[in-house]
Structure 1
């Protein structure tokens, strides 16, 4: 019975866990960021791909279990880009986001940073994010390269400017003691990264404010394209992009400020960096899926609040829209979304085309 609940009847291209509950989304994201898929061999990958092809064509060998099918889909989705069918470079896979991103987080949170080191770690973080975004982009309708470059440059400039500016202000604040100054400096990466995230969202999605985004009725039918819904989606996404990095960039400084006062680290200062690395890894690995599981992908809005032509086009009192770059780990390799609204069971691929294969980078 336990295996039946963990491995329900297989559905090609759909999430293994129920997406209408926080627990289901949390387990789903844990599955997606599982770093064990980084060590899958080429032969094992080919077996997984072939097993899914057999399922698709109704030629499965006898005795194949749901567990094996879900495992095969997990492997393929972690390694193969669904649009190009090419292998994604390991550091830029979603399963590699935490192991390859943790050293950057450690670097961002290093104490007593110089101007050069601050610029370097902020640049490296935004560069890693840009590579992850590009490697997992929607290749069915390619976006202009200039759009990625625009978002990248905006994120780098805003992150570096905020980080450097705050560090200079803290260093010049004479009323702070050295210990207080050091503690405040540890929290500088968060506002820098948060501002970069907002800048990136605005630059990458500003055209939606002019063109609008699709809104759907209770039956999953597209009612129209709403600029008002696009404004709400952009604001919600910007807000969540500020909230989501918080556990990863705020918790480690708090924890380390406590641990560094213990006799163990006071007598062994060389252990501070390894301990900080472990703290960052734990915060990154646990807090990220917890944070992104909090927010359902679909938002609901009253029809009366939208444009008159949309309100007149449907009898539904509310419609739903996809927020976009928020909880997108569950959309990276799926063309169907299970929404948080029980009345909506189907979302067409065209309604999520603008967020397919996008990450939620720090």
Structure 2
């Protein structure tokens, strides 16, 4: 089992411990580290038995920069500390999120020698196109039906985008990482020994990640809208309606930054699955009531 996963096994089983860790891992300064520094930190993490303050920098660098299946440094733009600076401006958001989901998938199939299929790359491109077009559905709906009713216009512009954002974020994860559900991912026993490949664990990993991403973008879409509803009642915003657009954008970026560690902490990086939920052929060789898998991000 990769040193990153072993760390999450001992330190990341409670929500608040994961939340505290993710606040450190999302520091943009970590993007300045070189690949030799990242490799050194990852190697050091694998040798550590008892962590001290001097080792915390290496641990943080390894967790934020190394994929927990392959042990290789993640692409710079898809490392967790890069998500807010790149996704915050909200330009090409669906393209970036699809790439982020793909970079942080479980790579069990690649560990077995398989390469990313053409089908998966085509599915990724199709997901980007579909989610980008689907995000414009409320406006398309109003234009095509020539909607003039203020209540319906307000619903399409303010309310409908909230569940739509959450649904599209979850759909992107399900589509980009569908291969994990179909071929399975590696599961380990409590000692870190490989037990086998489980489709049940793959489905659970993808489902948990999709829920965390839906929570991230659903909340980011909902709370700025509620904030503006309150602010529009004040004299300042009634006199200066041009303030609405910049406040909406700034509040969305700030909330995205706050929700990132919360979303990443909702489920453990090293997930657990009950032995009886595994395939029958794996249950016989599994020791203990629970097994572990890399959820991805």
Same fold (TM over 0.5): yes
Superposed CA RMSD: 4.0
Matches of 1:255 and 1:149, distance apart in 2: 39
> How far does residue 136 in structure 1 lie from its aligned partner after superposition?
6.8
Give matches, 1:170-189, under 5 Å.
170=142, 172=145, 177-178=149-150, 181-189=153-161
1:291 matched to 2:263? The reply is yes
Give matches, 1:188-227, under 5 Å.
188-227=160-199
Equivalenced residues, count = 277
1:163 matched to 2:151? The reply is no
Closer, same or farther in 2 for the Cα pair 1:70/1:229, shift >3 Å?
Answer: closer
List per-residue Cα deviations over 1:260-291 (Å, max 9, x = no partner).
Answer: 22211121223223322321122111122123
Counterpart in 2 of 1:125?
93
List per-residue Cα deviations over 1:20-39 (Å, max 9, x = no partner).
Answer: 2222111111111123445x
The equivalent position to 2:242 in structure 1, one of 253, 270, 278, is 270
Counterpart in 2 of 1:280?
252
Counterpart in 2 of 1:324?
295
> How far does residue 310 in structure 1 lie from its aligned partner after superposition?
2.3
Closer, same or farther in 2 for the Cα pair 1:241/1:147, shift >3 Å?
Answer: farther
Structure in which a larger fraction of residues adopt helix: 2
8 Å contact kept, 1:304–1:311: yes
Closer, same or farther in 2 for the Cα pair 1:100/1:260, shift >3 Å?
Answer: farther
Matches of 1:79 and 1:314, distance apart in 2: 31
8 Å contact kept, 2:38–2:62: no
Closer, same or farther in 2 for the Cα pair 1:144/1:160, shift >3 Å?
Answer: same
1:229 matched to 2:197? The reply is no
Report SS of the residue matched to 1:225: strand
1:144 matched to 2:132? The reply is no
**What stretches of structure 1 of length at least 5 have no aligned partner?**
1-11, 57-64, 105-120, 329-362
8 Å contact kept, 1:52–1:69: no
Report SS of the residue matched to 1:220: coil
List per-residue Cα deviations over 1:165-206 (Å, max 9, x = no partner).
Answer: 3333355485x8425523541344444444444443344333
8 Å contact kept, 1:170–1:181: yes
**What stretches of structure 2 of length at least 5 have no aligned partner?**
45-50
The equivalent position to 2:85 in structure 1, one of 99, 105, 113, is 99
List per-residue Cα deviations over 1:27-76 (Å, max 9, x = no partner).
Answer: 111111123445x5xxxx57x939957x95xxxxxxxx954543355457
8 Å contact kept, 2:158–2:225: yes
> How far does residue 253 in structure 1 lie from its aligned partner after superposition?
1.5
8 Å contact kept, 1:237–1:323: no
Deviating more after overlay: 126-135 vs 269-278: 126-135
> How far does residue 311 in structure 1 lie from its aligned partner after superposition?
2.5
1:49 matched to 2:41? The reply is no
Matches of 2:252 and 2:152, distance apart in 1: 21
The TM-score, its normalising length taken from structure 1, stands at 0.61
Report SS of the residue matched to 2:136: helix
Closer, same or farther in 2 for the Cα pair 1:85/1:286, shift >3 Å?
Answer: closer
